[in-house]
């Protein structure tokens, strides 16, 4: 098989395009270890265990006492280095389901083989204790996984936003400060050009990049997240991440504005304001005041309240979906184009899907944003589903689930 060209200039592309370039290149050139394929993952690049030596050469690591390291497989070597240096290791809980993070506590006098186990995902489960929001935690160093990163410090994750969310939550609980250093570890091919306009106000940047061949100090001056942007959080997200409820209560008691995305009085207008503002560089990322909504980029979750559906939804038809495509791939592409629907009806077996928007104006904007969209090399057909709209609205829920069709709130599923 002929080796693919390494990722190059990324002018005019989306985050999803860059992710796909990296994933495809690493798979084609066999640059990753288990788990494979690397698509939809933080790639476990070959040589990742050597990062345990690279991080120990950094002055910031030597000075750190408490280190937060993401649970991704390629960061296993760095977790081991933290434990071997007898520093406090904090690891986020998977998908933040049971809390923010756990403290890894090896057995007293643990030998190197036990420390190696503690650094693995199994060890994180077996040798950890939960850390609550009221814990006096002061993280000196943050280590995150990445799909792509630029020498300027711009970072792209796998698209779920958990690293950004974790950092914002640490800010809110006082665990990190403005000068807390953020490091990422990647393969050399993952260091690419990333247009700054792709960055949102919630995106975490990095100060150092470790690769198998070099250490890059980015000198990034862009402000890191300053806390949770509650207007980007939906009730659905709040339900999935219980610790957010506790944090929201604390911030509400402190007098901060914790209005959620689907609590704004004019959801459609708010969504339009966010999409307009997404074309502009935010002057003060994560600033929490009455003008924040109009300054922010479009968020990850749908502008949709399951208890109050709009009176006149408009449906968009998506066709020519290639065989084998997962619903998550389409969802990621929609988020990248800032065309998140309030509901997605998936008919993968028929190679099509339907996107439900709150009104005709929002649907038209989505169609425009999705022009030229392709998945797995196939150009998708995007158009207003005028003929299907009434039929889709009146179809019983049970029928919608037959023959491989799934009708779901955006954000659920694979």
Residue-by-residue DSSP string for 81-130: HHHHTT-EEEEEPGGGSS-SEEEE-PPTT--HHHHHHHTSHHHHHHSEEE
Which one of 242, 262, 295 terminates a domain?
Answer: 295
- 398 and 255 within one domain: no
Query: Are 86 and 208 in the same domain?
Result: yes
Is the CB of residue 139 less than 8 Å from the CB of residue 176?
A: yes
Asked if residue 222 belongs to a domain, the reply is no
pLDDT average, residue stretch 101-115: 90
Residues 285 and 319 in one domain: no
Cα 92–chain centre separation: 14
Per-residue pLDDT, 11: 63
Do residues 186 and 73 share a domain? yes
Mean pLDDT of 111-138: 87
Question: Nearest 5°: CA angle at 337, between 164 and 370?
Answer: 165
What is the tens place of the pLDDT at every residue in 341-390?
888 888 888 888 989 887 777 788 788 788 888 898 888 989 888 544 44
% of the chain exceeding 70 in pLDDT: 78
pLDDT given for residue 10 in this prediction: 65
Structural domain includes residue 225: no
What percent of the chain clears pLDDT 90, i.e. is strictly above it?
35
pLDDT value of residue 155: 95
Q: Are residues 197 and 235 in the same domain?
A: no
Q: What is the CATH number of the domain that holds 387?
A: 3.30.70.330
Q: Give the end of a domain, one of 184, 217, 250.
A: 217
Domain containing residue 43: CATH number: 3.40.50.10420
Residue linked to tokens 């990422």: 184
Note the pLDDT of residue 302.
Answer: 31
Rounded Cα distance between 192 and 34, Å, is 23
Q: Tell me: the pLDDT tens digits for 75-93? A: 999 999 999 999 999 998 8
pLDDT band at 96 (very low <50, low <70, confident <90, very high): confident
92 & 149 share domain: yes
Which has the minimum average pLDDT: 141-150, 317-326, 352-361?
352-361
Alpha-carbon span 146 to 22, nearest angstrom = 11
Q: Domain span at residue 362? A: 314-409
Q: For residue 23, give the nearest of 183, 132, 147, 154 by alpha carbon.
A: 147
Give the pLDDT mean for 239-260: 85
Q: What is the mean pLDDT of residues 178-183?
A: 93
Does residue 51 sit in the same domain as residue 181?
yes
Averaged pLDDT of the chain: 79
Kindly state the average pLDDT of the residues 394-399. Answer: 42
Residue 295 pLDDT > 50: no
Whole-number pLDDT of residue 9: 63
Do the domain assignments include residue 154?
A: yes
Give pLDDT, residue 172: 84
pLDDT at 98: 67
- Determine, yes or no, domain membership for 398: yes
Lowest-confidence region among 180-194, 269-283, 343-357, 375-389 = 269-283
State mean pLDDT over 210-215.
95
Q: Is residue 9 part of a domain?
A: no
Position 146 in a domain: yes
Q: Which of 171, 190, 217 marks a domain boundary?
A: 217
Between CA 66 and CA 50 the distance in angstroms is 21
Q: What is the pLDDT of residue 173?
A: 84
Give the residue from 351, 363, 350 showing the smallest Cα distance to 389. 363
Residue 367 CA to residue 18 CA, distance in Å, equals 22
- What's the structural domain count of the chain? 3
Question: Does 127 lie in the same domain as 243?
Answer: no
């Amino acid at each position: 098989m002929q080796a693919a060209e390494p990722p190059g200039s990324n002018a005019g592309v989306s985050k999803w395009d860059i992710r796909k370039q990296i994933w495809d290149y690493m798979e084609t050139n066999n640059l990753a270890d288990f788990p494979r394929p690397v698509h939809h993952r933080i790639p476990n690049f070959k040589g990742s265990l050597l990062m345990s030596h690279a991080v120990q050469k950094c002055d910031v690591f030597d000075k750190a006492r408490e280190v937060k390291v993401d649970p991704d497989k390629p960061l296993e070597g760095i977790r081991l280095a933290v434990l071997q240096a007898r520093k406090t290791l904090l690891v986020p809980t998977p998908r933040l389901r049971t809390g923010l993070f756990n403290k890894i506590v090896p057995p007293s006098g643990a030998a190197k083989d036990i420390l190696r186990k503690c650094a693995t995902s199994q060890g994180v489960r077996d040798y950890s204790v939960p850390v609550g929001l009221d814990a006096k935690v002061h993280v000196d160093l943050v280590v995150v996984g990445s799909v792509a990163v630029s020498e300027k410090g711009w970072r792209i994750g796998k698209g779920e936003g958990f690293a950004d969310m974790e950092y914002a939550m640490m800010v809110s609980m006082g665990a990190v400060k403005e000068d807390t250093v953020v490091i990422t570890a990647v393969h050399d091919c993952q260091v690419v050009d990333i247009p700054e306009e792709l960055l949102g106000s919630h995106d975490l940047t990095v100060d150092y990049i470790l690769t198998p061949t070099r250490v890059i100090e980015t000198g990034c001056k862009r402000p890191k997240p300053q806390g949770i942007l509650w207007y980007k959080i939906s009730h659905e997200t709040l339900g999935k991440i219980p610790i957010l409820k506790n944090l929201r209560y604390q911030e509400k008691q402190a007098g901060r504005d914790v209005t959620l995305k689907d609590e704004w009085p004019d959801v459609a207008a708010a969504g339009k304001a966010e999409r307009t503002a997404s074309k502009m560089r935010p002057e003060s990322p994560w600033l929490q005041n009455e003008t924040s909504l109009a300054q922010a980029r479009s968020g990850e979750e749908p502008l949709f309240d399951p208890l109050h559906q709009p009176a006149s939804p408009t449906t968009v038809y998506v066709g020519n979906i290639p065989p084998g495509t997962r619903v998550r791939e389409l969802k990621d592409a929609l988020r990248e184009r800032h065309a998140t629907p309030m509901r997605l009806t998936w008919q993968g077996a028929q190679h099509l899907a339907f996107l439900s928007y709150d009104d005709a104006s929002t649907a038209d904007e989505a169609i425009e944003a999705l022009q030229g969209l392709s998945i797995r090399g196939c150009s998708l057909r995007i158009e207003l589903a005028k003929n299907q709209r009434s039929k889709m609205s009146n179809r019983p829920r049970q029928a919608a689930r037959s023959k491989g069709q799934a009708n779901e709130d955006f954000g659920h599923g694979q």
